[in-house]
Amino acid sequence: MRDAMRKDPSILRDAIVVVQADNDRIEAQAQHETLANHQDVLFEANDPSAGNPRGATTIVEFYDPRCPYCRELAPLLSSFVAKDRNIRLIYKDLPILGAASELGSRALLAAARQGRYDALRNALMRSRSDDVTEGSIREAANKLGLDWQRLHRDMESPAVAKQLSANKQLAQDLGIEGTPTLVIGQKIVEGADMPTIAAAVANARHDHSLDQSKTVVPMSTGAH
């Protein structure tokens, strides 16, 4: 074997490629099974969302309001969803960058109770400062016409704390450790750029169409 490898190093290279392909297949299958086991919580009805509520393709985004990469992605992803009328975008607030992130995420989920999640999210994500404070949240809330007293009360509510806890548990179950991370179809996409996201959406639609075709039962024409 050693002599053969010395004479033809491509043998080792080809073996490595085969092993890597097998590992990728096993990892993809495990990821598919994990996502399948968490469908209910992935698409939780109480989660804030954007795009088409009846969209055939769903993107689930785990993000931190202070994450600089999440802020870069936000306008690009919003534009992508606005142009594609068949996408539903679900937000999973995942504060992983400390107490300020936790504060911002609680404010966002509280704003959802006033129907202003998107508005406050845009304000926080577009802010030039990543220093989210109660003062900055109150200033943004007042500009947007939110009821600050109600917002502040809801930020401390058990329901908001429970929702954030559920998001953190889901991220842990899925092996998500950083933001932004997206779930598109049966694939987890970490720190992606828009070409990668667009390709993942196209693949999800292709896989869905294949699944649909497998379930089609040919109609009987009957006897003639």
pLDDT at residue 220, as a whole number: 46
pLDDT at residue 224, as a whole number: 41
pLDDT at residue 130, as a whole number: 77
* 89 sits in which H/E element: strand 87-93
Is residue 22 a part of any domain in this protein? no
Show pLDDT as tens, one digit a residue, over the chain (224 residues): 666 656 666 765 665 655 554 544 555 566 678 888 888 889 877 899 999 999 999 999 999 999 999 999 999 999 999 999 999 999 999 999 999 999 999 999 999 999 999 999 999 999 887 789 999 999 999 999 999 999 999 999 999 999 999 999 999 999 999 999 999 988 999 988 999 999 999 999 988 776 666 554 455 444 44
pLDDT at residue 24, as a whole number: 42
Is residue 34 a part of any domain in this protein? no
pTM passes above 0.75:
yes
Distance CA 94, CA 197 (A): 20
Query: 177 in helix, strand or coil?
Result: coil
Is residue 161 a part of any domain in this protein? yes
Is residue 197 a part of any domain in this protein? yes
pLDDT at residue 79, as a whole number: 96
pLDDT at residue 35, as a whole number: 83
Is residue 121 a part of any domain in this protein? yes
Query: What total of structural domains would you count in the chain?
Result: 1
Specify the length of the chain in residues.
224
Domain extent at residue 86: 47-202
| Sheet of strand 181-184: strand arrangement | 49-51, 87-93, 57-63, 181-184, 187-190
What Rg do the C-alpha atoms of the chain give, in angstroms? 22
Query: 224 in helix, strand or coil?
Result: coil
Is residue 4 a part of any domain in this protein? no
- What are the angstrom distances between the C-alpha of 219 and each of 115, 167, 209, 222? 46, 44, 19, 9
Is residue 212 a part of any domain in this protein? no
Is residue 189 a part of any domain in this protein? yes
Task: Supply the CATH number for residue 146's domain.
Answer: 3.40.30.10
pLDDT at residue 14, as a whole number: 60
Distance CA 54, CA 210 (A): 20
* 187 sits in which H/E element: strand 187-190
